Structures are given as structure tokens and as C-alpha cells.
Amino acid sequence: MSGFDDSDFIRLLEIVEQTEKERRSGTAFPKSTDADGYGDYAGDYDRVVSGLIFACDGPDLIYGNVYIQNGIICEIEELRGSQMKSHNWIVPRFVNAHTHIGDTLLKDPPLGSEISPYAYRRDLDSLVRPPNGLKHRFLSDLSTEESVDSMESAIWNMYQNGISVFADFREGGVAGVSALIEASKNAARDIHPIIFGRPLLSAPRIPNSSDIMSSHMFLDELRDLLELADGIGVSGANDMDEYVLAKIASKTQSKRKKLAIHAGEKDRSDIDSALSLDPDLLIHMTHAEKNDLKKAADANIPITVCLRSNLVTGVGLPPVLDMLDAGISVSIGTDNIMLNSPDVFEELHFLSKIYGITDSALFKMATVNGANALGCRFTGSIEVGKKADMMVLNSKSLNLKHVKDPLAGFIRRADTADILGIV
Ligand SMILES: [Zn+2]
């Protein structure tokens, strides 16, 4: 017998209920001066947050106060742990370096044809390859209102999951990018989208690239897209012809916008072409060989890995350790929301367990590496001068209580239910 009787069980339920109530009402995230530090004693500053701070890139774990003015971290005061009333963890918010939130309304589709009563044959192309994959057929029937509403809920979802920046590959040309801008405004949360648009005319191959009319229409669309978006997100070098790829790369570069491209997801056949475009960011590289990674490293091109997405689509495991060995800056993306929840905690759990990557390396992959890859150097770590994009985790939650190494606990165990508040 465990000695755990009915009265203990009732007490446990009360604790769970109370914690959940406090979390929802915000009272678990005290605003008074004495408990967890949101108050008048901020002195000259707008706000102060106290606890165990995961500071800088390392991270350096220090007890103390983070002082905030106009949303910017102005001072980090180190104190002794024994002086602290709050032992909550103050952690930088995540950077989700690759998403497709346009398919929010297509969550958890069949993954392929059934090959037995208990198994699917997973098929990446049938799910997401343009122009006829399930996702693209679905998106083409979606109204603007449905698209905006669903993306708004996805943004709110990511905000609650502790994400400060997300980089979205937005399908649907100019209208698709406009819908995401609209959804971001409606969501009105402190979460920053980096939008990679995709020309509609590049989805199916332009019937005849030398055709003056279609070429002009494509270039006009590309120009408009580059005005509106942060860059262009190419679905893959095998999905379009050389003329289209070359134009996308040169126009994006001349407008000083960013070029990101899926590469090596299903096999390595599109990696050479992708590298030849000299993109700002490679997505996946699941089938990259060491030589490919050396080229990427030599060209200083960062890579975003989407491990859970690769697992769902059954394409294999990306060589993350080889990427790190090559000196590449690796960041993390949750990829299509129809395949996985936009939850970076989950990605960290999988990456840690599958590869045995150190906690500090994973911490960087989930935060500062993504921020740097996307040109968002204003966020990604808790440092003086950066935006105060932080989340506060309840170190006394049932999940985190008794954790001896907070960084290990954060990377391998923490989840969204431990978040007390977003700063
Ligand atoms: Zn993708």
C-alpha cells in the first residue's frame, strides 16, 4: 500500500484546482511588491520581475530582479537566493523559427492511406506538396474570413505557449500575406510575426517561362509580395523551374529581404539547388549529408529543424548533431500547425530525448539562434537593452517542484501548464 488515502487524493485535487484557478485569474502571477515582484518598488522603472533569471545566451542562472521600462530590459540586479521571495523561473520567450499557420483549420488530417487496420503509410507529398497536396486543395477553398479567424487563434495559441516571434511560410500570394497581417493585428498580442510570402504564380510551374505575359505577371506579384512581406519562403527547389527560382532569389536580395527555403526534407535531391540560391535560412535539411552541411556552414547559412514534423510525415530524423558539429546555427520550428501543435516545449523534449543534445545548446536553439537567424536581435535572451520578452514559470508546480537543475528541468520537463504569465 502506498499510504495515499482518499483524504490525500481530495487534498491533491484541491491543490490542482486552486493552482489552475490562480493561473487563469492571474493571481498566481502576483502584482504586489512582496510576493513575486510586480510593484511599487520598481522605483524609477515601469515594472520589476523577480526570481531565478535565465540570463544571457548561456544561460547564466542568477537570482535577482529584472527591471523594465517601456518594454525594454533596463537593469538586471543580482541578489542572493536566500534574499528572494520568489523562486519562479524567468525565462526568455521562444522563437518559433518555422510555421505554417494557414492550415490551422486542417488540424490532424489522415497521414496517408491505411495499410492495415492499425497503421498508415505516411506520405509527405500527398499532404503538403504544391499544388495538389491536401493542404493546398484545402487552402484554395478557404474564405479570407476563415483564414484570418483561424490564424488569429493560432497566434493567440503561440502567445500562450511562450512564443515571442514566429516565422511563417505564408501561402496564397499577396492575399495570403495580407490575411496574416490582418490576423496579427486582430490578435493584438505581443508576438511578432516574420512573414515569408510565396508567389501564387510559382506554385504550379509557370506554363512557359519564356511567355512574356506570364513572366510579367509573376514579376509584378513578386514585387508586391516583397513590399508587404519580410521575405520569400520557397516550398522547395524541385517545385519550380530555374527561371522562377533565380528571379525570386535576385529580387529578394535586391530588396534586402530574406529568402528562406525548404530543403532536403524528403530526400537530398533539392539541396544543391537550394544552396546555390545562397538563402538566408534553410528549413529541414533532414537528408543533408556532411558535405552539404559543410557548404551551409561555410556560407554561414542557419538551419531550422522541425523534428516533430519530420516524425509525423515519416521522412526521417534530421542530422542535428552533425549540423552542430559543423558549427551551424540551428534553430527550432514547429512547421505546419495541421501536423503539430505550435509548442516549442514539445520540440525541446523530443530533441533532448532523441539526440542527447545538452540543455544549454537546446536553450540557444529555442531562443537566441532563431532570433539571430530571423534578424530579430532585439529578442531571444534576457539582457539589458533587449525587449523584455519573457515568461515566468511556476517552479513550485507539481511538474517542476523538486527539480534540482532548473535548466535541465526547463528543457526536458517544463510545459505550457507551468507558465504563470507572459511579460
Ligand atoms: Zn515548412
Q: What separation in Å is there between the alpha carbon of 248 and the centre of ligand 1? A: 18
Q: Say whether both 244 and 123 belong to one domain.
A: yes
Quick one: pLDDT band at residue 150, thresholds 50, 70, 90? very high
Residue with cell 489552475: 20
Q: What separation in Å is there between the alpha carbon of 266 and the centre of ligand 1? A: 12
Quick one: pLDDT band at residue 360, thresholds 50, 70, 90? very high
Q: Encode pLDDT of 304-333 as tens digits.
A: 999 999 999 999 999 999 999 999 999 999
Q: Say whether both 38 and 54 belong to one domain.
A: yes
Output the CA–CA distances (angstroms, integers) from residue 223 to 60, 219, 255, in the order listed: 44, 6, 9
What's the average model confidence in pLDDT over 249-265?
96
Q: What separation in Å is there between the alpha carbon of 270 and the centre of ligand 1? A: 14
Q: Which residues surround ligand 1, an ion (CB under 5 A)?
A: 335
What's the average model confidence in pLDDT over 385-397?
96
Structural domain contains residue 21: yes
Q: What percentage of the chain exceeds 70 in pLDDT?
A: 87
Q: Say whether both 201 and 306 belong to one domain.
A: yes
Q: What separation in Å is there between the alpha carbon of 98 and the centre of ligand 1? A: 6
Q: Say whether both 308 and 409 belong to one domain.
A: no
Q: What separation in Å is there between the alpha carbon of 330 and the centre of ligand 1? A: 15
Q: What separation in Å is there between the alpha carbon of 99 and the centre of ligand 1? A: 6
Task: Examine the fold and report which residue of 351, 373, 395 is the final residue of a domain before the chain moves on.
Answer: 373
Q: Say whether both 177 and 313 belong to one domain.
A: yes
Most confident of 28-42, 56-70, 121-135: 56-70
Q: What separation in Å is there between the alpha carbon of 261 and the centre of ligand 1? A: 9
Q: What separation in Å is there between the alpha carbon of 234 and the centre of ligand 1? A: 9
Gap between the Cα atoms of 16 and 399, Å rounded:
11
Summary mean pLDDT of the chain: 88
What's the average model confidence in pLDDT over 179-203?
89
Q: What separation in Å is there between the alpha carbon of 59 and the centre of ligand 1? A: 29
Structural domain contains residue 15: yes
Quick one: pLDDT band at residue 4, thresholds 50, 70, 90? low
What per-residue confidence (pLDDT) applies to 76? 95
Lowest mean pLDDT among 33-37, 77-81, 208-212, 272-276: 33-37
Q: What separation in Å is there between the alpha carbon of 240 and the centre of ligand 1? A: 16
Q: What separation in Å is there between the alpha carbon of 45 and the centre of ligand 1? A: 41
Q: What separation in Å is there between the alpha carbon of 194 and the centre of ligand 1? A: 14
Q: What separation in Å is there between the alpha carbon of 92 and the centre of ligand 1? A: 24
Structural domain contains residue 285: yes
The closest of 302, 252, 253 to 281, measured between CA atoms, is 302
**How many CA within 13 A on the CB side of residue 47?**
14
What per-residue confidence (pLDDT) applies to 2? 42
Structural domain contains residue 278: yes
Q: What separation in Å is there between the alpha carbon of 362 and the centre of ligand 1? A: 20
Structural domain contains residue 181: yes
109 with 340: CB under 8 angstroms?
A: no
Q: What separation in Å is there between the alpha carbon of 239 and the centre of ligand 1? A: 13
Structural domain contains residue 364: yes
Q: Say whether both 70 and 195 belong to one domain.
A: no
Structural domain contains residue 132: yes
Structural domain contains residue 1: no
What's the average model confidence in pLDDT over 30-35?
40
Q: Say whether both 239 and 203 belong to one domain.
A: yes
Q: What separation in Å is there between the alpha carbon of 38 and the centre of ligand 1? A: 39
Strand order in the sheet with 89-92: 72-78, 60-69, 47-55, 89-92, 390-393, 419-422
Q: What separation in Å is there between the alpha carbon of 363 and the centre of ligand 1? A: 22
Quick one: pLDDT band at residue 370, thresholds 50, 70, 90? very high
Q: Say whether both 77 and 133 belong to one domain.
A: no
What per-residue confidence (pLDDT) applies to 1? 39
Looking at residue 65, its amino acid is N
Q: What separation in Å is there between the alpha carbon of 293 and the centre of ligand 1? A: 19
Q: What separation in Å is there between the alpha carbon of 420 and the centre of ligand 1? A: 30
Quick one: pLDDT band at residue 42, thresholds 50, 70, 90? low
What's the average model confidence in pLDDT over 153-177?
96
Q: What separation in Å is there between the alpha carbon of 326 and the centre of ligand 1? A: 23
96 with 81: CB under 8 angstroms?
A: no
CATH number at residue 72: 2.30.40.10
Q: Say whether both 59 and 101 belong to one domain.
A: no
Q: What separation in Å is there between the alpha carbon of 37 and the centre of ligand 1? A: 40
Residue numbers of the domain that contains 27: 6-93+380-422
Cell of 321: 548533431
Number of folded domains in the chain? 2
Quick one: pLDDT band at residue 109, thresholds 50, 70, 90? confident
Quick one: pLDDT band at residue 44, thresholds 50, 70, 90? confident
Gap between the Cα atoms of 418 and 395, Å rounded:
8
Q: Say whether both 27 and 136 belong to one domain.
A: no
Task: Examine the fold and report which residue of 373, 397, 412 is the final residue of a domain before the chain moves on.
Answer: 373
Q: What separation in Å is there between the alpha carbon of 263 and the centre of ligand 1? A: 10
Higher pLDDT, 183 or 111: 183
Q: What separation in Å is there between the alpha carbon of 312 and the centre of ligand 1? A: 13
The secondary element (H helix, E strand) that includes residue 355 is: helix 344-355
Q: What separation in Å is there between the alpha carbon of 217 and the centre of ligand 1? A: 26
Instruction: Give the ranges where 161-254 is alpha helix by DSSP (H).
Output: 173-187, 212-228, 242-254
What per-residue confidence (pLDDT) applies to 75? 95
Cell of 158: 503561440
Q: What separation in Å is there between the alpha carbon of 273 and the centre of ligand 1? A: 17
Q: What separation in Å is there between the alpha carbon of 168 and the centre of ligand 1? A: 8
Does pLDDT of 22 surpass 80? no
Q: Say whether both 406 and 295 belong to one domain.
A: no
Q: Say whether both 198 and 182 belong to one domain.
A: yes
CATH number at residue 198: 3.20.20.140
Task: Using DSSP, state whether 362 is helix, strand or coil.
Answer: helix
Q: What separation in Å is there between the alpha carbon of 29 and the centre of ligand 1? A: 35
